[in-house]
Amino acid sequence: MDNFRKVLQTMVMPAWWHRKLRFAHRWAALLFTPLLAMILITGLILAFEGVVERHHSGSPAAQPVAVEQLEGFLQQVDRRQRARELALESGDVGVLTFSAAGQRYVEAYDLASAELIEERPSATGFFRTVRHLHKDLGLGLDWVVELATYALLVVLVIGPLLAWPYLQHTLVSWHNLLGWLTLPLVLLVSATAVLMIHEIGTPHLPPIDRDAQRPSLSEAVARAADEGGLTHVWHVERFEQVAYAVEGRSDAGPRTLIVTPDQVAEVGSYPGWIANLHQGTWAGIWSALLNAFIALILLALTVTGLLSWGLRRFRQQSGGVDIGAQVLIAHASQTGTAAKLAHESAASMRKAGIKVAESSLASLRPEQLNDFHRVLLIVSTAGDGEMPDAGQAFLNSLASADLRGCKFHLLALGDRRYRHFCAAGDMLHEALDKAGAEPLTMLTRVDGKPGREWQDWLANAAGDLGVSLGGVPEIVVDKQISLSLNRRERLDDPEDAELQEVWSLEFEAAEPLDYRPGDLLLVEPCAGEPARPYSIGSSPLEDPRLIRLTVAVTSRLDSSGQAVPGKCSGLLGRELRVGESLHAALRSHPSFRPPDDQRRPLVLIAAGCGIAPFVGFLAERAQQSQAGPVWLIFGNRKRCGDALYSQWLEQWQRDGVLRRLDQAFSRDSEDGSYATDRIRENAAELLRWIRDDGALIYVCGRRATLGEGVMAAFIALLVEQAGFTQQQAEAELEQWRADGRLRMDLIG
Ligand SMILES: Cc1cc2nc3c(=O)[nH]c(=O)nc-3n(C[C@H](O)[C@H](O)[C@H](O)COP(=O)(O)O)c2cc1C
């Protein structure tokens, strides 16, 4: 289906055309929005004119009245010759609309006796003003209205060519869907307006000399009889100040005559079927209501179009993406390498004079890619062939994106020692391709440390822009360090076989280190094995040579079916002896560091070994004089046996570093709850911390259990406490993640 869509898209419209048309659609709509709003609102009001008039009037007469009788009648009721319209109603009633001194009034008379039956309320004056606004803005500027009509037609015709209707709960999808579904209806009023401008489908009227003496309504009837052979009359109406449309019949059948000061001419109908279609007067009240409905649809299209454009601009600006830039460099990184490469790439390009915007995929929506001349993407692969968390939502939303016209270069980071080498890069490449984006170079895959491949890739991308970077600098992603093990302490109860073996390790570096809690220590268990990242749970503020890790010893079955410890966790938890040294690499992890502003409240949510970085967060806050409050929600199996770091946490509580501590122990018979249950129970208070106090939320643990559970709990919290719908809550969480208010470091 997707391939079919793509083939169809490119066959129907090349990217170049698509860009031009999108530009025309957007700017024609934006430029004419105030005018169109005025025309549409007045059109909506005018659609009700027929309804209002009909409300006050009786049913139309079944038979026309003879000309002689009408002449006699008019002589009595319109002595001052001010009548501009005559309509006949059943029960021998003649309804006259008079205009005098700019005012209009309506009177119903008995046709036989010429006695006044009633004066009728008339909104004619109001509708006349509205009609003026509709036709020429009340300023005689009919050419401006004509221009806006053309713009509307252009916008309506181009719109459906730009995007396929997709059922998705976003403003722009509703806009697209509405535009598609209602196209025939909205064309009905806009195309008829253009036809009217060109007098196509309107009756061919004789020339009308507006300066000539105006005949009275009764003279018009007399001339229609004398010169046009009319014997009976249904309806007479003045137009263009001096002319009348007289509907009636002659011996030969029904006729419509136009009486001007100079002549009497026959027309097929008045005001013509195109005008009837435009004005909604072709099927009484139903066509009037249809017109009102169409006007509402057009207004809804204007508002949704305008809002989605405005929101997009706002997001782009608040998301920090410089929309004036030529090139966007975006990344999805799990442990910081792709982010660092993206940053270095941007710096190199800026040096060469290219205007560059930088962003994580977490803060981007696919459509934003269309705003740049070129897009450079750098993504790593995490877990077991997965897209890093920061790129997951972006990847998902590509399925319904239209990126024709977008041109990109993609660099995929990975490691061949994993089963699915560069799988995330492959997935992204395929999804971009399906969305219509055009790869300018083959997907470049990097195995292990990025070096030459990245430099060549970047030089190539710059060359494509006609710029030479003059040598891309070498990049040092990880700092190689040598550590010696100072202390190792078992955190769980070794007697309890249900618990996971967890150790706290403290290393001392040979020199002071530059890092923050939440950064990663990459440990290679042996040559040829990929390095495992461990979150650092200490702070240089405690001691700049200290590195603290929390390590769970995993186990796997060897070839003979025996349980053996995981290579890396076994090395750290069991083999390495105190005093022995370890060579490792230090990698910064900017997206999971504590905020620079120490006063900012924090909500830390962890399960099991996920507490590892948070010990460092708390240790850092304990050293800061103006530290803001911290709330830790921690889940594990048993209070008695694996309440990790419990004594430290109690001490931090006593010192006021940890303002709140809520724990959950799933295998305790008296508890049996999870960290996510604590979120649900404290929903109102949590929302206060997050919304009122601006707390940042950090989540660390397993994706499938804690990660998904926390997301579900926060969605429920927003639905129940803040009145969001499910979809709004999901969008809000996505926004929190994009803004960095919700940060997750999860393992598969
Ligand atoms: C936990 C973990 C899982 C990984 N899984 C894969 C994988 O499935 N396939 C792959 O090609 N590379 C995998 N890698 C390697 C990373 O993609 C590679 O180290 C990359 O340079 C990291 O970039 P980042 O720091 O921007 O996330 C994995 C690395 C880690 C630490």
Residue found by looking up tokens 């006796």 in the block: 113
pLDDT bucket at 746, cuts 50 / 70 / 90: confident
Cα–Cα distance, 424 to 211 (Å, whole number): 78
Q: Is 703 in the pocket of ligand 1 (CB under 6 A)?
A: no
Instruction: Choose which residue among 337, 361, 380, 387 to substitute to test ligand 1 binding: the one with the highest number of ligand atoms within 8 A of its C-beta.
Output: 380
**Cα–ligand 1 centroid distance for 379 (angstroms):** 10
pLDDT bucket at 3, cuts 50 / 70 / 90: very low
**Cα–ligand 1 centroid distance for 477 (angstroms):** 13
Nearest CA to ligand 1 atom 19: 414
pLDDT digits (tens, 9 = 90+) for 519-555: 999 999 888 788 899 999 999 999 999 999 999 999 8
Average pLDDT on 121-146 reads 88
What is the distance of C-alpha 165 from the center of its chain? Answer: 15
* Contact present, 178 and 300 (Cβ < 8 Å): yes
Q: Is 381 in the pocket of ligand 1 (CB under 6 A)?
A: yes
Residue 458: its pLDDT value, please?
95
Nearest CA to ligand 1 atom 4: 382
Q: Classify 81 in phi/psi space as left (phi over 0), alpha (psi -120 to 50) or beta.
A: left
Average pLDDT on 111-117 reads 95
pLDDT bucket at 166, cuts 50 / 70 / 90: low
How many CB atoms lie under 10 A from the CB of residue 211? 7
Q: Is 360 in the pocket of ligand 1 (CB under 6 A)?
A: no
What's the token pair of residue 191?
Answer: 């195309």
Sign of CA dihedral 629, 635, 640, 642: negative
Residue 4: its pLDDT value, please?
53
Average pLDDT on 187-202 reads 90
Which string of b and e fits 217-241 if b means at least 16 CB within 10 Å?
Answer: bbbbbbbbbeebebbbbbbbbbeee
Higher pLDDT, 259 or 280: 259
Residue 604: its pLDDT value, please?
98
Element (H, E) at 11: helix 2-12
Q: How is the chain split among helix, strand and coil, in percent rounded to 5? A: 45, 25, 35
Query: Cα separations (Å) of 330 from 9, 165, 644?
Result: 26, 28, 38
* Contact present, 608 and 527 (Cβ < 8 Å): no
Q: Is 380 in the pocket of ligand 1 (CB under 6 A)?
A: yes
Which residues, 6 or more positions from 748, have their beta carbon under 8 angstroms from its beta carbon? Answer: 382, 383, 384, 386, 702, 703, 704
pLDDT bucket at 110, cuts 50 / 70 / 90: very high
**Cα–ligand 1 centroid distance for 588 (angstroms):** 15
Residue 13: its pLDDT value, please?
61
Q: Is 388 in the pocket of ligand 1 (CB under 6 A)?
A: yes
* Mean of the per-residue pLDDT values of the chain: 90
Shortest-distance atom of ligand 1 to CA 422: 11
* Contact present, 428 and 439 (Cβ < 8 Å): no
Average pLDDT on 67-93 reads 94
Cα–Cα distance, 15 to 21 (Å, whole number): 10
**Cα–ligand 1 centroid distance for 715 (angstroms):** 29
Higher pLDDT, 488 or 172: 488
Task: Say what percent of the chain tops pLDDT 70.
Answer: 95
Q: Is 333 in the pocket of ligand 1 (CB under 6 A)?
A: yes
Closest residue by Cα to residue 15 from 435, 303, 392: 435
Q: Helices 15-47 and 142-162 meet at what angle, rounded to 10?
A: 130
pLDDT digits (tens, 9 = 90+) for 320-378: 455 556 899 999 998 889 999 999 999 999 988 888 899 999 888 898 898 888 999 99
Cα angle 644, 646, 650 (rounded to 5 degrees) comes to 155
Closest residue by Cα to residue 44 from 294, 306, 304, 305: 294
Task: Say what percent of the chain tops pLDDT 90.
Answer: 66
Q: What is the largest CA-CA distance in the chain?
A: 124
Residue 488: its pLDDT value, please?
97
Cα–Cα distance, 270 to 710 (Å, whole number): 68
Q: Is 535 in the pocket of ligand 1 (CB under 6 A)?
A: no
Lowest mean pLDDT among 307-321, 458-472, 541-555: 307-321
Shortest-distance atom of ligand 1 to CA 338: 26
* Contact present, 507 and 546 (Cβ < 8 Å): yes
pLDDT bucket at 467, cuts 50 / 70 / 90: confident
Pairing outcome for strands 602-607 and 696-702: parallel
Amino acid at 261: P
Residue 1 has pLDDT above 50, yes or no: no
Element (H, E) at 700: strand 696-702
Residue 546: its pLDDT value, please?
97
Q: Is 421 in the pocket of ligand 1 (CB under 6 A)?
A: yes
Shortest-distance atom of ligand 1 to CA 532: 31
Q: Is 422 in the pocket of ligand 1 (CB under 6 A)?
A: yes
Q: Is 335 in the pocket of ligand 1 (CB under 6 A)?
A: yes
Q: Is 383 in the pocket of ligand 1 (CB under 6 A)?
A: yes
Structural domains of the chain ordered from first start: 21-63+123-202+273-317 (no CATH), 217-270 (3.10.450), 327-464 (3.40.50.360), 476-590 (2.40.30.10), 595-747 (3.40.50.80)
DSSP letters along 28-94, please? Answer: HHHHHHHHHHHHHHHHHHHHTHHHHHHHHS-PBPSS-EEHHHHHHHHHHH-TT--EEEEEEETTTEE
pLDDT bucket at 316, cuts 50 / 70 / 90: low
**Cα–ligand 1 centroid distance for 417 (angstroms):** 10
Cα–Cα distance, 608 to 701 (Å, whole number): 7
Whether pTM exceeds 0.90: no
Shortest-distance atom of ligand 1 to CA 339: 26
Instruction: Choose which residue among 331, 340, 381, 417 to substitute to test ligand 1 binding: the one with the highest number of ligand atoms within 8 A of its C-beta.
Output: 381
Cα–Cα distance, 715 to 401 (Å, whole number): 25
pLDDT bucket at 12, cuts 50 / 70 / 90: low
Average pLDDT on 156-177 reads 77
Nearest CA to ligand 1 atom 18: 414
Instruction: Choose which residue among 333, 345, 418 to substitute to test ligand 1 binding: the one with the highest number of ligand atoms within 8 A of its C-beta.
Output: 418
Residue 292: its pLDDT value, please?
92
**Cα–ligand 1 centroid distance for 240 (angstroms):** 78
* Contact present, 270 and 256 (Cβ < 8 Å): yes
Cα–Cα distance, 612 to 606 (Å, whole number): 9
Closest residue by Cα to residue 435 from 459, 406, 464: 406
**Cα–ligand 1 centroid distance for 506 (angstroms):** 26
Element (H, E) at 395: helix 389-397
Strand order in the sheet with 546-552: 532-535, 520-523, 581-587, 479-490, 502-509, 546-552
Query: Cα separations (Å) of 461 from 14, 301, 336, 444, 708?
Result: 23, 39, 22, 12, 38
pLDDT bucket at 194, cuts 50 / 70 / 90: very high
Residue 168 has pLDDT above 80, yes or no: no
Average pLDDT on 708-723 reads 94
Which residues, 6 or more positions from 472, have their beta carbon under 8 angstroms from its beta carbon? Answer: 348, 454, 455, 458, 459
